[in-house]
Amino acid sequence: MSVPNYLLSVFSNKCPRCRKGKLYRTNNPYNYKLVYDMHEHCPVCDLKLELEPGFWYGTGYMSYGLSVAFSLFNLGWFYLIFGLSWEGNSLFYYLVANTIILITCMPLIMRLSRSAYLSIFVKYDKNAASAAH
């Protein structure tokens, strides 16, 4: 059996151990009340998702890092399309556009940061899915 892709499982918010179970109860991150509504245990391999009390506080660093990386990515394509300078106000427009994009994508980034953070501490186990049942 093939190993599910690591990045794909992180970006699709899958459990890092079995890479099959969903981390979140709802698929839509834009339901703001449920943005952090996670399963306590992976529905497929039964991994306890909050590894220790307060585990998710560490995701603050992850979401900060992802926001910076995302801003740099936006800077890249903005530069390629519009160029950047203070004279034409394009740098100002970039800052405005980037802020709007970041706010719009924040639920995605929040979820992705938990998924990525958890994947640092939990390694893939090809037997996890079958062992739990």
For Zn ion, the binding residues in 27-56 under the rule CB under 5 A are 42, 44-45, 47
Tell me how far, at minimum, the Cβ of 52 lies from Zn ion, in Å: 18
Q: Judged by CB under 5 A, which of 15, 62, 110, 112 binds Zn ion? A: 15
Which three-class secondary structure state does DSSP give residue 113?
helix
For residue 119, which of 53, 42, 28 has the smallest C-alpha distance? 42
Q: 27 to each of 4, 24, 55, 107, how far by Cα in Å?
A: 19, 7, 22, 12
Q: Judged by CB under 5 A, which of 9, 10, 13, 21 binds Zn ion? A: 21
Residues that bind Zn ion (CB under 5 A): 15, 17-18, 21, 42, 44-45, 47
